[in-house]
Amino acid sequence: MSFLADLPCTNPNNFSKTEGSSKTIGDTANPAKVAHSVPIRPDEKTISNDKKPYILRYLEKQWGAKFCNIGISEADFVFLYQFLFTKYKLCPNYFRYQ
């Protein structure tokens, strides 16, 4: 247990030698900062996250590029997309933008 001999303890003398320990509450040299609440304006932008997982966005990009390059029609792509999302019970955002 000799390896525990040099560790700090809860002895108050160990903490009384820190710089600035003589300051008291209500010291006038450093007055407290006051935070004012600011009302939210309606023209401020709000941050919203897209609920679609990143993997779905990636697959849409990859599938769209592959299907366009090999000549699959958009109707076939939409059918495949609907089939995959109804099978796995996901809510796609693809049809919202059309």
What predicted TM-score, i.e. pTM, was given to this entire model?
0.24
- For residue 97, the model assigns a pLDDT of 44
* Amino acid (1-letter code) at residue 17: K
What are the domain boundaries of the chain?
54-88
CA 87/CA 82 separation, integer angstroms: 8
- Name which of 3-7, 10-14, 18-22 the model is least confident about: 18-22
pLDDT confidence tier of residue 34, bands split at 50, 70 and 90: confident
> Residue 43 pLDDT > 60, yes or no?
yes
What does the alpha-carbon distance between residue 76 and residue 82 come to, in Å, rounded to a whole number?
10
pLDDT tens digits for 56-94? 778 777 776 665 565 666 677 677 777 776 665 555 554
Helices H / strands E in the chain, number of each: 2, 0
